[in-house]
Amino acid sequence: MKTRLDLIAFFDAHAIDHTTIDHPAVFRVGEGEDIKQGIPGAHTKNLFLKDAKGRLWLISAKDDTQIDLKRLHTVIGSARLSFGSAELMEQALGVTPGSVTAFAMIN
């Protein structure tokens, strides 16, 4: 599994400007309001999902987007969706609930 330090090293090696902000895990969009106030730009919510065929999905959307999980499978062309377990998330992405990020895809 890649670590946070691996990601930072990748950014540095490719001269990608970055700022890291440490904060507690955020499980729901509303919980992060105080954190987001000091960070410019759009903010996201990330959903780790598993479909009925066992395929994994990471859905990232602007934090104020309403996602209809009952209809989402038809939009993305998958089988029915449910949330992936914490164990599966850690296995596949190397992160725990509340810490899901698109950057975990490096794993």
Range of the domain at 49: 4-106
Structural domain count of the chain: 1
Q: What is the CATH number of the domain that holds 25?
A: 3.90.960.10
pLDDT tens across the length of the chain (107 residues): 678 888 899 999 999 999 888 888 877 777 777 777 878 888 889 999 999 999 999 999 998 999 999 999 999 999 999 999 999 999 999 998 988 888 888 87
DSSP codes of every residue in 25-94? ---SGGGGHHHHTTS-S--EEEEEEEETTS-EEEEEEETT----HHHHHHHHT-S-EEEPPHHHHHHHHS
Report the phi/psi class of residue 21: left, alpha or beta, with left for phi > 0 and alpha for psi in -120 to 50. Answer: beta
| Six-digit token string for 98 | 């509340």
